[in-house]
Structure 1
Amino acid sequence: MARMPSAERRRQLTEAAIRAMARDGVSKTTTRSIAAEAGVSLSVFHYCFDSKQALVESVITTLTAHSVTVVKQALRPRATLVETVRAGFEAYWDHVRGHPDEHMLTYELTQYALREPGFEHLARRQYELYGDAYAELIGGLRDSMDLRLHVPVGTLARYLAAVTDGLTLNYLVLGDESAWSDILETVTAHIAGLARDEVEP
């Protein structure tokens, strides 16, 4: 087996855990099955992660990064704020439609963490990560487009996390592709209305 830096090995094992958990469910995924998925020995797994809590936290962080990265890449300033916000939502929604198993896994991880003794803090950590990610995206957009927000960044970040969380679950349950276009327009207009260009009179 080729030697690999520990950080890279942790990433490999985390991605293997995401695949295994999405396929088999969180509670049925074992350290042995994750090691097998990654093609490494069990001892390598235990070298990289000293507890299941550490693994679950790495999975949560990585899943969040997957969707945040595509939004960040799409959220560059466009001609109008509405167009910019729409591009961010469209990128996120494309990720949901392209990777529904990952998004279903985020909800399963929340429930698992809330129910499993000693894991409760990871559910809180998961939603703190969402808030932090949105705050970073909002802050970057505010600075690049010289925006004045009508609500504090932290409040808007948590609100956006709640909105996308609810919309994502709604889609995963109902799977109504045809309704998304109108929903996107409604959400885009609403969120864009919570900010305005600093140079406007």
Structure 2
Amino acid sequence: MSRKPSAERRRQLIEAAIRAMTRDGVAKTTTRSIAAEAGVSLSVFHYCFDSKQALLESVITSITDHYIAGVREAIQPKATLRETFLAGIHAYFDHVAANPGEHMLTYELTQYALRQPGFEHLARHQYEQYTHIYTELLEELGRTRGYELLVPAPVLARYLAAMTDGLTLNYLVLGDKAGALHVLDTIANHLTSLVNE
């Protein structure tokens, strides 16, 4: 086994955990099975992560980072604010459609964290992270475009998180891409109506 930097080993274990949990479920995935999926010893896992909680927090952050990178790139200012919102929401949904297993895993992680004593803070962290990232994106758009939100950015961010959360679950259950795209248009229209350009 070649020696790799700790950060690289952590990334390797996080990606292995995502694959294993997507395939086998959160409750059935053990630290041993994650180490095996990553092709490393269990001692390497314990060197990189203090606990399963620490790993799960990193998994949540990693999955969020996967789609946020695409959203950030997509929301570069377009001709209109509506087009900018629509581009960002589409980038998010494109990630859902391309990676349904990852998004199903986020729901499973939420439920798992809420049901496991001592893990509840992971679910809170997950949703606080969504709100924080959406707030940051909205404020960044405001600075670059010079618009004023008609509701506070954190409130609009929570609304956007709730809308994308519901849309994601609806798509994962129904698989109706055309219907989801109509909802995306409605979300973009409503977001635009909450901004004073």
TM bucket normalised to smaller:
over 0.9
Percent sequence identity over aligned pairs: 66
Partner SS for 2:142: helix
Q: How far has the Cα of 1:130 moved from its partner?
A: 0.5
Partner SS for 2:47: helix
> For 1:168 and 1:140, how far apart are their aligned partners in 2?
24
Aligned to 1:92: 92
> For 1:177 and 1:125, how far apart are their aligned partners in 2?
29
The 8 Å contact of residues 134 and 160 in structure 2, kept in 1 or not, is answered as: yes
Partner SS for 1:4: coil
Aligned to 2:165: 165
Q: Unpaired runs of 5+ in structure 2?
A: none
Aligned to 1:26: 26
Aligned to 2:138: 138
What letter matches 2:29 in structure 1?
A: T
Aligned to 2:77: 77
Aligned length: 197
What are the superposed Cα offsets for residues 78-114 of structure 1, whole Å, 9 maximum, x if unpaired?
1100110110011011000000000000000000000
Q: How far has the Cα of 1:68 moved from its partner?
A: 1.1
Partner SS for 2:163: helix
> For 1:136 and 1:2, how far apart are their aligned partners in 2?
39
RMSD, aligned CA: 0.8
Partner SS for 1:191: helix
> For 1:181 and 1:35, how far apart are their aligned partners in 2?
39
What letter matches 1:4 in structure 2?
A: K
Aligned to 2:152: 152
> For 1:127 and 1:182, how far apart are their aligned partners in 2?
25
Aligned to 1:193: 193
